[in-house]
Amino acid sequence: MAREFAADAAIPPRWSWWLFVAALAVTLIAMPDFTDVSLQLDLSIIFVLALLALSMSFLWGYVGILSFGQTIFFGLGGYSYAILALNTGSTLWPFAAAICLPMIFAGVFGYFVIYGRINDIYLSVITLVVTLIFEKSIRSTSGPEYVIGNVRLNGQNGIPGVPGLLLPWDGSALSIDGVFYLAGGMALVVYVGLRLLLLTSFGRIIVGIRENEMRMELMGYDSRVYKLTAFVLAAGIAALSGALYAVWGNFVAPEMFNLNQAAQVVIWVIVGGRSTLIGPVVATGLVQYFSNWLGTVSIGQVTLVLGLVLLLFVLVFPRGLLPTIAWAFDKCLSKIAGRR
């Protein structure tokens, strides 16, 4: 059972996995009736950030591209939604545009770095540099001349008063319950969608490219097309996370592009395990809870502590949390079966 959820997602799921997904859906639907508002808000932001973790898990774990640029698309998604919604007074099509625009940017940017045959290490460095460029550029827009339509960018102060999603049938904004359902539902849909995508020919090809790119090209597959497609798809998931973040907090700021945020995404994936999709989702919740707890006990160097946690998992649990638990569980079952 443990192996079913912690193993490589390219393995076809069994009935137990579908039962697990159904249980998650039922729990998600029933939870607002048994929880208070503060817990719903905390879980909503975990679901939002889990989408960002899923984008990195898919791109790094199954395509083999370590990108520090997922926060670029995360920030672009949030800022695109905020600017378009405040300028037009509408929310549904700005929300869709906030996903499409970062994907277009990812297609252009990915074309040059992937079709340019840039080494994976240099690709990671380039995405890191572009992340820093975006953050510094947004922070330098404090003056009154930096306006898009009727919206001031406000530099490091961010854009406040971002409207929530308006329901099309009555024009009212999503309630806290609605944001919870939307964020949780999107996280579940994206998780299931990626899990099933990896079972298709496209999914098997990108995993094959991760394992041996030259062999896949000798077999007739253009690895650049598949890597670019996966890169754009991961950018769209990160942009969805950014747009939901703007809806959740009614606020966007340059911290969305922050290098610390980019490093946290990497920590979520390493702690949860790159060989699984559900692992980074679980790790997102655990790390967020741990970070909040460190703040409540007045530990100022939260980033330093998270760095030590990352070092611990790299040295002691290189597979990640869930794969290690699944491995230990299987070992115990094997010993019990051997004794019998």
What are the per-10-residue average pLDDT scores of the chain (340 residues)?
A: 49 82 92 87 94 94 90 95 93 94 96 87 90 92 89 91 85 86 95 93 92 90 94 96 94 90 88 86 87 69 73 76 76 72
Cβ(132)–Cβ(103) below 8 Å: no
pTM for the full model? 0.91
Which pLDDT belongs to residue 336?
75
Which pLDDT belongs to residue 1?
43
Cβ(273)–Cβ(6) below 8 Å: yes
Angle at 327 between CA 322 and CA 333, to 5 degrees: 125
Distances (CA, A) of 156 to 139, 237, 256: 5, 25, 11
Pairing, β 151-152 against β 251-252: unpaired
Question: How far is 86 from 69, CA to CA, in rounded Å?
Answer: 26
Question: How far is 277 from 308, CA to CA, in rounded Å?
Answer: 23
Beta-carbon contacts of residue 248 (< 8 Å; ≥ 6 apart): 41, 44, 45, 48, 179, 183
Residue recorded with tokens 């290490």: 121
Which pLDDT belongs to residue 4?
45
What residues does each domain of the chain span? Answer: 9-258
Which pLDDT belongs to residue 312?
77
Which pLDDT belongs to residue 36?
86
Residue type, 118: I
Which pLDDT belongs to residue 339?
67
Question: How far is 279 from 21, CA to CA, in rounded Å?
Answer: 14
